[in-house]
Each structure stands twice: as C-alpha cells, then as structure tokens.
Structure 1
Amino acid sequence: MSGRLDAQFAFLLEADKLRRIDRQNLIIDCSRRENSAEHSWHLALYALVLAPFAAPEVDILRAVRMLLLHDLVEIDAGDHPITDKVDWDAVAQAEDAAAKRLFGLLPADQGTDLLGLWQEFEAAESPDARFAKRVDHCQPIFQTLYGTNPLDWHVDVVRQNLNGGRAAALEQDFPEAYHHALALLNEDTSFDCSRLTARLPFLNEADKLKLITRASKLGDGSRHENSAEHSWHIMLYAWILAEHSAGPLDVDRVLQMLLLHDLVEIDAGDAPIHGVTDPAALAALAAKEEAAADRLFGLLPADQGLPMRAIWEEFEAAESADAVFAKSIDRVQPVLLNLLNGGGSWVDYDVSLPQLDTRVGGKVSRGTPDVWTYVRAKIEPWFRAAGRL
C-alpha cells in the first residue's frame, strides 16, 4: 500500500508544476496570462456546460478526464501557441516522451490507463476526443473575445484561427461557436446561437475563480495558488486516489463536485481553514456562499443550473459517500503543498500538529483513512522539527 501511495503522490506532486506553465491567452479581465492548470480546469467546466452540443455517443465525463490531463505534457515540453513557428513533429515527439515520463510515475495500471487516454485525445478520432478537442479550440476564442481589454493582435489571431486555422473546423463541428465568434468580430451571419449564448455568461463569470487567492502556496513556494488551479489539482487527486476511499464511489460525480465546489468563492471569497474558525464567522460565510450559489448557477438555463447547484449542495452537506470523499481530498492536497514549500499556511497561521489533526485529519480520515495515515507519517517530522507537536 505504501509503495503504491508513494507512486501516486509522486505523480500528483509533479503535476503541481503545470501551474508554472504560462499560456499566450490572457484571463478574461486581461490582467495576466493564464497558466495551463487553470486553463485545464476551465476546459473541464466548458465540457460539462456544453454537454448539450455533444453528439449522443459522447461520454461527457470521459471528455472531462481527457481535458484534466491533456496539457500535463507541457511540464516537460512547454506550451506552444498556434502562432509560433516551430517544428511540430519535434513538439509531438517531446510531448510523447513527456507523457511516458509523467504517467510512468504512477503505478503501472493507472499509468497505462492515463497514457492511453492522453493518446486518444491527441489522436482526436474517438467521439469523446473529438468533443474534447472542440472544447479546447473554442474556449480560448471566447476568453479573448469577451476579454475586458484584449490585445489587438490576440483578436487578429482569433480571426485567423477561424479563417483557415484549426478553429475553422468549428463551422462544421460546432456551428454555434463558430458563428457566435464571427458575430463578436462584427461579422454577424444571422445564425441562431441562442443555446450557446445562454451558457456563456456562466462560463465567462467562472473565469473570475482564477483571481481568488488561497492561503496555500504552490509546491515551490513561489506564490499562493488560486482557486481555479486548486480545483484542477484536487480533481486529479480524487481521480488517482479514489481506490483508497472508505466506501464505494461514483468517481465521475466526485469530479463534478470538485469541478464546481469553489465557484461560490467568486462572490464569497476564500476562507482559510486555519484562518476562519469562529462559529459566527463561519455561519456568515455559509450565507454568503448560498447567495453566491443562487447567483452563479442561476446564470445557466434551469435544466443545467439546478442539477449543478444540487451537486454543490451535496458537497457542502458532506453526507453522501461521494461528498465525504470529495471533502477529504479537498483537505489533503494543501497539506502536501505545505510540506513541499516549507510549512506554508502552517507557519502563517501558527498551526500545531494537534490542530491539524482536528481541522484536517478528522475530515480526511472520514473519507480516506489510509491516505491520512500515509500523509500524517510524512508531515510529523516537519512538526517535530518545528516544535509544533
């Protein structure tokens, strides 16, 4: 068991490095470039929301998994914007080598499964992969065209991409996205895009999660993580560690919970587990989060918004086996980051090991006791050396 967890955490901690890979695209307020981890989270959300546009044979949640891992190879191979003049054959070879190294960190059965899913996405031949590629091609277009103050040359790239670039295929594969993008470029074709435009306000608003700063820092300690990239990372955690659940799970439902769970922070903000402990403050926060859920999920058509809100409520209640495990994973990931970066929020909030056992250990143990036993053994030497036992 310990050897298997060693391999799983080796992969999950290496995946943390995807947050250091900056893309050409700006986030929607145009304040900075987005990174590949938060981009992957946003793509997963796009796939879930755009499910009504998928062919009947598409397994949406399988496409979500593809999008969670599709850019991991950039940890080794880097990001290559479509405007770059590069040797694309060499890029493909570098990415293939990166995939084999990264997924090779996992236990063999899991590594083989994830490598196969990544290769399927790259080949873009199955219905699931074609849908995932469609999402990957349209999301940067709308992130640019709905941007607060997009760069002129970024808009030009979108125009060129639609007119002869890889996004030109959207005219056949996803006509609502193609024609709405043209309309945003003042080339209105009178195509009915109302099903899409009913969902884009939610997806655009969700981009603001990339601006919510958390108490936890990245593994290298270089900056605090944001809630969008955190959501991406814990979805990977849940996927990889699901076999250690205390009870039976529907892993895809857990992934949906973690995809959506922090969206309310757009309005309510982040509440560090070691920073907000007063019952009155926690009650006020819960009220803010309820109001945020009303507003945010209310941006979607009711047939999507209501089920997504129900998933969020189930996570918050933490009563079902899926929600208990999801809550456990949400708690365990920052522990590993703190250990990597020299203490992080434990130092900032003067946390002792007994406090961590109470605030975090109990919740993690409820959903995945073997993982907490493993993690606690890893962190105890740090607390001992810091005199915080």
Structure 2
Amino acid sequence: MLSCSFVLPENSLLNQNYYSLFKGYRVDIIFYLVYYWFYSFAYFSSIYFSTPKHRFRRITIGTIILFLLMIPVFFTETIPLSVGYIFYSFLVSLIALGQVFTETTLYEYTSYFHSPKHINAIQIGKDIGGLILLLFFTIFNGTSASPFVHLSVNILITIVVMAVAIIYFLFFMSKKKYWDYYVNVLAVDDQSIISDKDINVTENNENNDENEENKDDLLKSKVDQKPEFSLPELKVQPETAAEIYLGIAKCLYQPIIACFGNYVTTATFFPAFLYKLTSNNPDLNNKQWFAIILMFIFFVFSLFGKILLREKYFLKVKPKLVYILIICRIIFIPLWILCVLPKVFKHDVFPVSFMIFFALSDGYCGSKLLPSKQP
C-alpha cells in the first residue's frame, strides 16, 4: 500500500530489488494486515461480553466502525483498484470476525468443563490442519501461482479452521451439559432462554433459595477469574456501541497493539520472503521444497512456543518484557532481507536458524498476550 506514494528512481538497484521481492504479493500482505488487526481487536474486546448474542452484535458494530475508519488508507491508487481493496478488506474482516466469535465461545466453554490440555489440543489441531493445507497448495501451485491463488489459499485456510471450530462447538451443544453451562453462566440475565429450553439447572436440589445461592456463587467464581495480564475492567457502563469500543480501546490498547504488532511482523515473512528463499541444494528448490521445509519448521516451533507457556518459569514473565520481545522481533525483517537480497547469509543454516527463533517468539508472544483462559 505504501509503495504507491513512495517511488524510487526507475533504474536504482533498491527499486529493482524491492519490486522483485514484493511483486505479486501486495494483495496477500494486505490480507494479513487487515485480518490480524480485526482479529486482535475483536479477540480482546470479546472477553468483556458475557453472552454470545451480545458479543456478536457488539463486535459486529465495532468491526464496521473500524472498517469505515480504514477506508481512507486504501485510496492511494486508481478508483477501481481501491474499491477492490475495500471490498476485499471487508470480506477479510468478516472472516476474522467469524473466527473470533467461534473461537472465544469455544474456548470459554471448553475451559469451563475441561483442563487447559483440551484447549491446547484444539490449538494443536488447528496448527496441524493449517500446515497440511499450506503444504498441499504449495506443492500443487508451484512458483507460477498468481497472487490471487495465494489469496484464495489464505481465505480457504481461514474458513476451514473456522468451520472446524463451529463443528466442534455444535458437537458440545448437542449435549445437555452444555445447556447447563449456558444457563448458569451465559444466560442468567435472559429469562426467555431458560423458559424456552425449560431446563432445570439444579434439578437435584429441592430448595429454590439454595439454588439461587449456588447460582450466584457460581457466577461470582466465574467473574473472579481474571485474565493473565489483569486487564482493567470497565468502570462506567456505556450505553452505545461507540462508547463501548472507545472504552475497550482505552483499556486494552497496549495488548491489542502488541498482539497486532507480533502477527504483522510474522506476516512480513509470509509470503513475500518465503517463496524467494532458495537452498544451496538444487533438489530442494524443485517445487519449492525448501519453502515447505521452512513452513513445517515454523508450525512446529510456533507450537513449541505455545507449549512454553505451561512452564512455570515462562509464566512469570512480566508483560513489559513481552512487549520488548515483540519490538525486538522486528530485527527478523532485515535478517530475512539479507537472506534474499543481496543474500549475505548464503548457507541454509541461516534461514533455518532464523526460522526457529522466529517461530518460537511468534508462538510464545502471541499466546502470552491472550487471556489466561485462552491457549
């Protein structure tokens, strides 16, 4: 996007290298930037909304407001292209919204009944599924794939991941235990839900007063569960959606920006650098096997970064240190450039080593910024 307003001399080496590196991938880069921004904001804001109905409505309104604020960013080229970017960004924001809604509801329910191991299993399954899809399309697309092919792959992976979460969520909804949870925790203020489902939450107790007391204790214990970063609560109850999101942005701007910055740094590598890295072994460059190996390393060590959160030593890391680590991750951008142009790091050990630390920091920082009930 920014390259439209910054034009280098036509014959300069930097201009040729930059154009060669990012040619055909600008649409993909826009995808990641827009997607991760909406994902980060909606993810953090969703923890303040108690019921799925209110959560979905307010996140939708906030998403539309944020999208309208981003429209001027895209008017940097011709009108048809700008309109295409706007429409595409709106599609991406809706996908991110749907994924956030399903994941937060799923994790909230799973963490209520199961241990964190079950939540980690969901995250592992998503990583493995994304890895399989990426490997499949990378092998069959080859180097001649257009940016819109990569674009369709990104959208397809996101939709598949969201569909898996929805299926998993609907499976739990078929169990009576889910409705007990829904009435106790999510639908306490909505008496119509309780009457429509005609569920006796405490059917084993005969005293109604005791039932209400048990319900209040359950809600109190649920409210007392604070996120890992001790995110501040909204002291004033706003009335409009705009006031809600202004209050949330004021309280959560630090973790939102940090989460967004972490994933944007990761997005600079995919796909602009990934498909430009070459191996010293010509056989690995056939059908981009070297890119596939690097992608596999990323998924595996990103998963290890998430597992590190279960260790007591890493759980005690202060948020400020995580923010510093996220800022330090920017150093990977010039390192990747030096692996491609002018290729200072020529041996394969350099991109592999960079990828290991790149993935570890991505998995650890991304998961560390989430609330404690999230993986």
State if a TM-score over 0.5 links the two structures.
no
Relative to its length, the structure with more strand (as a share) is: 1
Structure with bigger helix share is: 2
Greater C-alpha Rg: 2
TM-score, normalised via structure 2 length: 0.33
